[in-house]
Structure 1
């Protein structure tokens, strides 16, 4: 979504007066957006529409992304989708696409996540909605959010911790421990080989 502007801020941003912006609204040249409370606002797409009138703005999609770690959690996935339907309805979000994926939170190369972030990079996504930040990534969420914001996309987090299973956290932590254990074992074997070679070369 990018930055939001109240009418005075928007007028200053485009170098016009507030009365001119209001006149453009009445003429239909601009259509202000409305917050759930009814407050009028504009965004960066409106700025581009005024400053770059020859460029056609394509509507950016609102996408809900739901994820669980394993096929055995299909009931959890269904509950997550149902909860997000209620959340989006309450927020007045008209969802264009629902993405459901099964894959570990440590894996940032999940097929549907990669496709979603590619679409963000192309400027096609305006909003991503998730139940909890770790549905996108166990680690690295801040970076994904930075990439999204840089491309005019907002990530909306419902912060429903009940939809972030504890068992997944345990599995991800065990995966980290296993990875580091393998690396430590490999390092110990390398040190032993190196010592043996050095001691043999000294004879």
Structure 2
């Protein structure tokens, strides 16, 4: 699916001002398209042209991840397994990206750089061993981003490359996070009762 962008959105993506985009259009460096309403817009092909990325130069990337340094052997095994898969399937891979970071952490540097490149139209195909190698939660959102920017997302579904211990650690992290939030809410409620006892009493009476 080809994405379309209003001039302000397009300018932000190419790191220019709307005035610069209008000047480029006036100089013939770029040509906008028009909606039935008459408003100008740009699409992914314009984005790739401005960013200097030709369609034939878009790359295929394999992304491999584990949660911690202690799982480095798992990362090596994951990379080796994906290389064997690529050879067996006849898939030509341009880049191999490996990263150590939790699947619930969306601030992984290489992961964020990967998403930025997808949004710029630089990646034609993203391949992962299992969907939780990309993210533990929110996979459908990542798939949507790929679909919107014409990037094919391939999940090989090699479940054996999804360490069980990592999943357990992530589940404990979820429980810990919600426990802390629950404790914080209870502490807040206690402080509220101590600071505003009359207000709490009035609320109970109204109920």
* TM-score w.r.t. length of structure 2: 0.69
Matched, 1:102 2:72: no
Q: CA RMSD in A?
A: 2.0
**Aligned mate of 2:157, from 159, 164, 175:** 159
**Equivalent position SS for 1:108:** coil
Matched, 1:196 2:159: no
**CA separation in 2, counterparts of 1:172 and 1:155?**
24
Runs of at least 5 residues in structure 2 that lack an aligned partner in the other structure: 3-44, 46-52, 202-207
**CA separation in 2, counterparts of 1:56 and 1:160?**
32
Runs of at least 5 residues in structure 1 that lack an aligned partner in the other structure: 4-47, 49-54
Partner of 1:84: 82
Tell me the matched-pair count. Answer: 151
Partner of 2:143: 145
* TM-score w.r.t. length of structure 1: 0.70
**CA separation in 1, counterparts of 2:189 and 2:65?**
41
**Equivalent position SS for 1:191:** helix
**Equivalent position SS for 1:179:** helix
**Equivalent position SS for 1:118:** helix
**CA separation in 2, counterparts of 1:159 and 1:103?**
20
Matched, 1:178 2:169: no
For residue 58 of structure 1, report the CA deviation from its aligned partner.
4.1
What whole-Å deviation, never above 9, does each CA across 1:131-166 have from its counterpart, x for those lacking one? 000000000111001101110001111101100001
For residue 200 of structure 1, report the CA deviation from its aligned partner.
7.0
